[in-house]
Amino acid sequence: VFSTPNCTLCLKVKKMLEELKKLYPRAEIREMDIVSEDALALNKALCARAYLPTTARAKAPAVFSANRGLVGDDITLDALKELAERARGLAAPWELRLHKLLDSDTVALEQYMTYTPLVIIGAGLADGINPCAYAAIIFFITYLTYIKKSRAEILLAGLLFISAVFVTYLAIGVALYGLLRTMGEVSVTLNRILYSVMALLLAVAVGLSLGDGIRCLQGRPQQMKLKLP
């Protein structure tokens, strides 16, 4: 089984595998993080062995037997039962002598080569939309202009702000990914609790933000709760 710790569909697949284990107590199921070096190479080889399209490579969740594989939405409990039935008497996927295993760098390179420059640029721009950061930098530029700072100083302040935001978000993202990865290895239930808490906090923040927007439109900015820009 190939998965990632921050994948909602992977959690559903894990639940299916728990049900499958009850039906096939002697079945041995091993899980690998798709971003690990060994997992990438094994995934590529198993996809080739199962004659899956190249678009299915390095994707999670994915479940393989010795000669078949299921990826993404194709993974259902019925499909897993069929996979288990057809795997009777066959070697486990991790025991196969796959001579065409590629190193993880090659697998990752092949995967990234399928993305066009426009797709990469578009994804970066879409992911980079941050209203709060835009509001903050507009405020900084306006303030610096008001106190008569030169264009060079304004440019330097803008570059420093952008760099600080990038480094901060990157550090937070790496830390959260590591936390989710660790929690995913410890307990699926704990992972679900974290997702539920985060969803609840997000819902509360959305509600408060919408309320602030309504108060602002009604001319009552002093009553705003979050006071976000």
Mean pLDDT over the full length of the chain: 78
d(CA 175, CA 202): 19
Round to whole Å and give the CA distance between 4 and 109: 19
The three-state secondary structure class of 75 is coil
Mean pLDDT, rounded, for 102-131: 64
Three-class SS of residue 71?
strand
The single-letter DSSP state of residue 47 is H
| Confidence (pLDDT) at 65 | 83
pLDDT value at 189 more than 70: no
Confidence of residue 182 (pLDDT cuts 50, 70, 90): low
Domain boundaries, the chain: 2-113, 127-223
CB atoms within 10 A of CB 42: 23
For residue 185, what pLDDT is reported? 55
Answer yes or no: is pLDDT of 183 > 50.
Answer: yes
Where residue 37 falls among pLDDT bands split at 50, 70, 90?
confident
Tell me how far apart the terminal alpha carbons of the chain are, to the nearest angstrom: 44
Q: What is the pLDDT of residues 98-113, one digit of tens each?
A: 544 544 445 555 555 5
User: What's the pLDDT tens digit per position in 9-21?
Assistant: 888 888 888 888 8
Closest residue by Cα to residue 10 from 56, 57, 61, 59 = 61
Q: For the chain, how many helices (H) and strands (E)?
A: 8, 4
Report, as an integer, the average pLDDT of 134-147.
Answer: 83
The token duo for 218 is: 């009604």
Q: How confident is the model at residue 119 (pLDDT cuts 50, 70, 90)?
A: confident
